[in-house]
Amino acid sequence: MEYAPEAISHLAQQVTQVFKAALERRLVSSTTAVTIAEVEKEMRELLRQMGAQALSQFLSSGAGTPTTELPCKCGGTLHYQRRRAARVTSVFGRITYERAYYAGCECGKGHAPVDEQYGLVPGAVTAGLAALLGLGGIELSFDESRDWLKAFLLFEVSENTIRSETQALGAVQEEREAKVCQQSQNLDYLQARWREKTPLPTRLYGSLDAAKVRIEPRAKEGKKSENTEAWRDMKVGCWYQAEPVPPVQRSTRQRDKYAREQAVFRAKNMHYYCSIQEADAFGKLMWGIGCQVKADLVPELVFVCDGAVWIWNLVKLHYPHAVQIVDWYHAADRLERVAQTAFSALSDRTLWLERVTADLWAGRVTPVIQACEHLASHCEEARQAVTYFTNNAARMKYDQFRAAGYLIGSGTVESGCKQIVTQRLKKPGAQWEVDGAVQTAKARAAWLSGEWDAVCAQRAALSLAV
Ligand SMILES: [Zn+2]
């Protein structure tokens, strides 16, 4: 919206007068000088109070005389009662407003057209505030975000409200995903995507990972909950594209990496999804979101993941033609663990590790397996590594992958996994119920995927439908 500069200027003059008057009263009783930070904070508080009043007046300003009757959703008739007060918590804090109120239908339900128009639920928060509370809730623990949000909002919202609003946004994302998954079973929808004008990326990447989340054991009926921790796997997936990092934009670490590897990529257009589900159910989510990003239509699909069996089984099932790459850092780390366990002398360890890492980098998996076999008789780590490298040999042709310009490290989804699970859900002492953990993670995934505004808009529309 646009506002007339003269009107803004006029309002600002009035604000200044009110502010100065309050400031002079304060200076009389205080000897300390006023800092600009205080001026800013106090002026913000004044504007917040004005905002609360303005919003209240706006919502109370219903035009004209209300009609005496309205059709009710049940098919009956509602009758105008009176103007009735309601309270909501907005971005300006708690406000009260008065609006036309209807009742008297046989179904017993009341109705306020203003509430319906703006999706207001008396006693609850507005959609505008909900979006901000969610931003706090996906970033910090609900307890921490209360203080953090207070610094921005200038009033306090309870930890429980932040939790429920964050999780409500996650529930919206869950619904969006469910819809996408449902569409992905519809042949007409799948075919219609061919006709869409948006160009397909020539190469699309997929990654999958999992991390443990501590779930609060639920009390069984009639029994007290056993005080045992239950850890569940939060599976995280990401669809993304990769682009080379231009020389001027490379960090020190990336410059080192470029010197070593002659290539530095970064991910773009990330689309995260996550859930606490068994692999086959998670596979359906991967396929559904995959259809949305046209993973099944792109000329080239590449999966870069760690060596977990469930991951490759899902890839083979849903995208049998995709290029499969074991994340380079996982594979190299495996060798490092073998070296750590098998050699006590540093020089032996370094010598062995340098040789096998060079072999692996050059895509020579057979000598890597042989080197591990030599150590297998006295080293369990090496024995396991033999199986790992044997099973994944085809996914470790790093020479060919590099020559084709593929990204060989799944840093993107790993960092997504870290950002979604480790950073947010694994705060010290954090315990979750499954639904709460999943919804918070989904809200966070929506933010990281650039879908926040769409989710918030849908949440606002949902409260309209209530
Ligand atoms: Zn009714």
pLDDT band of 295, cuts 50, 70, 90: very high
Q: pTM for this structure?
A: 0.87
From ligand 1's centre to the CA of 466, what distance in Å?
A: 14
From ligand 1's centre to the CA of 106, what distance in Å?
A: 6
From ligand 1's centre to the CA of 77, what distance in Å?
A: 6
Distance of CA 335 to the CA centre of its chain: 33
Return the pLDDT at 466: 47
pLDDT band of 320, cuts 50, 70, 90: very high
- For residue 4, count other CB atoms closer than 10 A to its CB: 8
Asked if pLDDT for residue 151 goes beyond 70, the answer is yes
pLDDT in tens, 220-267: 555 555 556 688 899 999 999 988 888 888 888 888 878 777 778 888
For the chain, first and last CA: distance in Å? 28
From ligand 1's centre to the CA of 46, what distance in Å?
A: 43
Task: With beta carbons less than 8 A apart as the criterion, state whether 87 and 94 touch.
Answer: yes
- For residue 372, count other CB atoms closer than 10 A to its CB: 25
CB-based burial label for 208 (10 Å; 0-12, 13-18, 19+): buried
From ligand 1's centre to the CA of 406, what distance in Å?
A: 61
Q: Which residues surround ligand 1, an ion (CB under 5 A)?
A: 72, 74, 76, 105, 107
From ligand 1's centre to the CA of 461, what distance in Å?
A: 22
From ligand 1's centre to the CA of 73, what distance in Å?
A: 6
Averaged pLDDT for residues 356-365: 96
From ligand 1's centre to the CA of 97, what distance in Å?
A: 24
Question: How would you classify the pairing of strands 93-103 and 203-215?
Answer: unpaired
Task: With beta carbons less than 8 A apart as the criterion, state whether 290 and 296 touch.
Answer: yes
pLDDT in tens, 25-45: 888 877 778 899 999 999 999
Averaged pLDDT for residues 282-296: 94
Return the pLDDT at 226: 57
* List of residues 6+ apart from 93 with CB closer than 8 A: 48, 52, 153, 154, 155
pLDDT in tens, 322-333: 999 999 989 999
Nearest to 326 by CA among 398, 234, 221, 421: 398
From ligand 1's centre to the CA of 110, what distance in Å?
A: 8
Distance of CA 176 to the CA centre of its chain: 14
From ligand 1's centre to the CA of 75, what distance in Å?
A: 6
Q: What is the CA radius of gyration of the chain?
A: 29
pLDDT band of 382, cuts 50, 70, 90: very high
% of the chain residues with pLDDT over 70:
94
From ligand 1's centre to the CA of 107, what distance in Å?
A: 4
* List of residues 6+ apart from 38 with CB closer than 8 A: none
From ligand 1's centre to the CA of 86, what distance in Å?
A: 21
Average pLDDT in the chain: 90
pLDDT in tens, 91-119: 999 999 999 999 999 999 999 999 998 99
Asked if pLDDT for residue 57 goes beyond 60, the answer is yes
Letter for the amino acid at 101? Y
Place of tokens 């060798």: 335
From ligand 1's centre to the CA of 78, what distance in Å?
A: 7
Averaged pLDDT for residues 437-442: 94
Averaged pLDDT for residues 348-374: 95
From ligand 1's centre to the CA of 222, what distance in Å?
A: 40
Place of tokens 């200076």: 27
Averaged pLDDT for residues 382-398: 95
